[in-house]
């Protein structure tokens, strides 16, 4: 990966959740995928740590995980400048 000062890069993240997927503990799944200039650079899929009370809450938790991933990548790009 070449990071050239002054060049803009595009970062995109897509998230999804599956509400109360596991019948044993009613925990939802979260997933996200991150693209840097159209290339996949990170992804994750895991069971959420808390029991979401609604599908909307499960989606917010998934989006939070995606944002944390983006913030880490932005920090890495800043370090590479």
The string of pLDDT tens digits covering residues 13-42 is 999 999 987 788 889 999 999 998 899 999
Averaged pLDDT for residues 53-74: 92
Residue 11: the pLDDT is 86
Q: What is the pTM of this model?
A: 0.77
pLDDT at 14: 96
- Check: CB of residue 17 under 8 Å from CB of residue 59: yes
Domain boundaries, the chain: 11-80
| β-sheet bridge partners, residue 17 | 30
Cα 46 from Cα 2, distance rounded (Å): 31
* Confidence check: pLDDT of 4 > 60: no
Classify 64 as helix, strand or coil.
helix
């Amino acid at each position: 990966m070449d990071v050239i000062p002054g060049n803009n890069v595009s970062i995109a993240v897509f998230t999804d959740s599956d509400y109360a997927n596991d019948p044993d503990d009613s925990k939802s799944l979260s997933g996200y995928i991150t693209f840097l200039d159209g290339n996949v650079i990170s992804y994750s899929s895991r069971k959420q740590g808390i029991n979401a009370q609604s599908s909307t809450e499960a989606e917010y938790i998934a989006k939070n995980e995606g944002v944390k991933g983006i913030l880490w990548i932005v920090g890495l790009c800043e370090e590479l400048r």
